[in-house]
Structure 1
């Protein structure tokens, strides 16, 4: 397993993260356990902010909270000067409860409910990212009823397809998200929005996908967005002050993944925006971006305890752990791949190839196929790296399995930021109707 951030093998031959021995973490907090390297999270935040400084652009780096949203993470984003991208009332509530400044919150989503819109307007968030005509009219009506004017970006589908999994590619024409430039929907929505009394058009938003390892897609998107902005200016006399080019910057999950440094992505975006807008004699806009996975993804490690082992001679050796698709659905959803090690035997050489199975009653509940490991034993501690994004946030209670705890580690200190669910948490919202309650039997 590739060691990054503050991870190291300590003098006891065990994996250590943030100065904390993972075996001690497992004994203290139990497993499965999400462990986050706080120092690495903060470093990733600063890499984006520092890359923009000196670029000549006003900017916002908005953390895409869908990747991993807890109150503690919102606090870190605020302390590091980031804005926040939310896509639901739950994420918005989490941010507000954490004390995140509402004026730096951007509300995304392709089907915002009236209740979510009301909640966001009442909280005085920074802007909406409008995704369709229905939403535009609903936001305007609710804002008008409250006597306020809300700021908005408009999500475009620029016709740029990122080289990524089809489920996380979003910039192509055939997408549930946004207004298509090519078929005229984008121009039509800006024209309509410009005439509404309670909408202030800031600019447009473009997001081409996730887990992207190259910059050409962002250059193409900047060209398309600049061309569209110039068309809007020439036709409607409206000049955008903000261009949001989204996120999707990739991380290393396994050997062969080659993500670019944050500064490389940022330089490519700022250079492309400067070139494309300047050649159209267009005032340079603010640039906003939305990294999520690339801030928290490689900062997360999940710890599991090895349980049953099934060896099928000449076929495969299954090593089961006390978690699985309930705490990491990505292998089942996207064929995602990971690296791992025995954290309690980190110096031992691999002696066989095994496959890591989850405990859910699903044949597809496999975390890692064909993983080289020292011969594992029941009770060993397995550490799966780069599980910081879309693991906790997509976790479920399938099979009524309790969701794990989350800890932040830094400088030898481990802080609980999400408690492990209890049995009461799992069944606490259940209601038994009166007709199904057990009747007392009265004997004469």
Structure 2
């Protein structure tokens, strides 16, 4: 349903189709008075974007495209992207467990984390999961484990090319003082990296990830080029092809301003080929770790408007879309703005004159606003507000503040001409909230205060 020429890839999200899905969701009771908020993910759009990603890099070099699990840490989503041809990039034991639950083969999983324990490393090596060490101490730990067991894992080292930060400091991982990777420009650091590669011939991969939202293709390409140059130096020094693969990371930014998809994966791949042509000469296999750019624009969040009020001459809509669903947007609105659509209770879009309004969430603090001073059609109680472009990080990373229930997430397709939904995650129940908050241990502290047993030790 998304309009785009086949050879150009997906260039614009179909707003009319999205409105149609909102109407269908309201009619099905997936969002409204009973279910006050829900996330939605476009199955057709995700599959199309994964196909575009594969096409963008072509077939002249082998590429393993992995999906950054953190972007949508939901097992059905991981199964979907795996079925479309992606592996998984994981950054914790929990994310590894999700990838395995989705049936992703170990040799298509890459483990990245700056604080891997011995147990995590041993598990990954035992499974044959690829591991990118974050630092030289981790290399030494890995060597100790390899001394007593063999592993099929591809082993790499993450480097920080220190090419600078993007427009969002918290998302920039190749800055001068980034916590990630081994710095290449600090005094003596490059030589230490080269010595480590000499010492550990099983290190066959270099990994770089410049950052995420706010890091544009030229900055990403600069980091990749520095890493490729290091790989070439390692191989010249070794007199053989020791480094045989380069993990490029991910981080392609997403346009949150409108429905246009930019930059595309094809544009990024072309930029990379121009900046680092030697990377595509056949000497290296490649790995990518895209997340947000695969799913963000293929998701939206819908929430019910409970009340409206006038305060200080401005209308405020009190809704069920707030910091518990859009944490980054509430706390960093300039860095993470979201477009807001207004729909009647039946899901049809509201039209008519716009007025300046705030869209507030249900959390118990004054700053819980997903939109401030936004020109929108007049919002009424019972309406639905729709947060656009929330397919990445929003539906799968709710905040437990105020113990507000995690909403359901639904996938949808319009294949065959009808809107069909499938459950990705069920809505959290109040019983589950109580259990997660230690309900099974309700008496332990009072017992401990009275001199009794304190439970687990």
Give the TM-score normalised by the residue count of structure 2: 0.85
CA contact (8 A) 1:213 1:259 kept: no
2:120 to 112, 116, 119: 116
Q: Please list every run of 5 or more consecutive structure 1 residues that lacks an aligned counterpart in the other structure.
A: 440-444
64-73 vs 239-248, which deviates more?
Answer: 239-248
Change (3 A) 1:22 1:211: farther
In structure 1, what is the equivalent of residue 6 of structure 2? none
Residues 1:34 and 2:44 aligned together: no
Give the Å deviation of 1:367. Answer: 0.8
Tell me how far 1:158 sits from its aligned partner: 0.9
Contact 2:126 2:151 in 1 (8 A): no
2:105 aligned with 1:107, yes or no? no
Using the TM superposition, name which of 133-142 and 243-252 deviates more.
133-142
By how many angstroms is 1:275 displaced?
A: 4.2
- 162-171 or 206-215: which moved more? 206-215
C-alpha distance in 2 between matches for 1:277 and 1:254? 33
Query: Which residue number in structure 2 is paired with residue 424 of structure 1?
Result: 431
Q: Is the 8 A contact 1:130 1:136 kept in 2?
A: yes
Residues 1:53 and 2:58 are matched in the alignment:
yes
Contiguous gaps of at least 5 residues in structure 2: 4-11, 451-457
Corresponding position of 1:442? none
User: Structure 2 matches for 1:5-20, cutoff 5 A?
Assistant: 5=13, 7-8=15-16, 15-17=19-21, 20=24
Q: Is the 8 A contact 2:33 2:304 kept in 1?
A: no
Whether contact under 8 Å (1:58, 1:287) holds in the other structure is yes
The question of 1:195 aligning with 2:199 is answered: yes
Change (3 A) 1:28 1:406: farther
Query: Which aligned pairs between 1:361-380 and structure 2 lie closer than 5 A?
Result: 361-380=364-383
Q: Contact 1:6–1:37 at 8 Å: present in 2 too?
A: no
Per the TM alignment, residue 21 of structure 1 is displaced from its structure 2 partner at its CA by 4.2
Q: CA deviation at 1:59?
A: 1.1
1:263 aligns with 2:266: yes
Say whether 1:147 aligns with 2:141.
no
1:24-423 equivalent positions in 2, closer than 5 A: 24=28, 25-27=30-32, 30-54=35-59, 56-125=60-129, 127-148=130-151, 150-183=153-186, 184-196=188-200, 200-212=202-214, 214-237=216-239, 239=241, 240-255=243-258, 259-275=262-278, 284-314=283-313, 316-335=314-333, 336-344=336-344, 345-411=348-414, 412-423=419-430
Q: Distance in 1 between matches of 2:228 and 2:376?
A: 51
Distance in structure 1 (CA, Å) of the matches to 2:150 and 2:136: 21
CA RMSD of aligned residues (A): 2.7
Task: Measure how far apart 1:256 and its partner are.
Answer: 10
CA distance in 2, matches of 1:133, 1:213: 26
CA distance in 2, matches of 1:393, 1:256: 21
Alpha-carbon displacement from aligned partner over 1:123-153 (angstroms, at most 9, x marks no partner)? 221x101101222222232343333353212
**Distance change (3 Å), C-alpha of 1:36 and 1:22:** farther
Deviation, structure 1 residue 276: 6.7
Deviations 1:387-416 (A, max 9, x none): 111113331211111111110001211011
Q: What count of residue pairs does the alignment treat as equivalent?
A: 425
C-alpha distance in 1 between matches for 2:269 and 2:214: 13
Q: What are the Cα deviations for residues 338-382 of structure 1, in whole angstroms up to 9, with x where unaligned?
A: 111113341512421111111111222111112222211111111
Q: Offset of 1:104 from its aligned partner?
A: 0.2
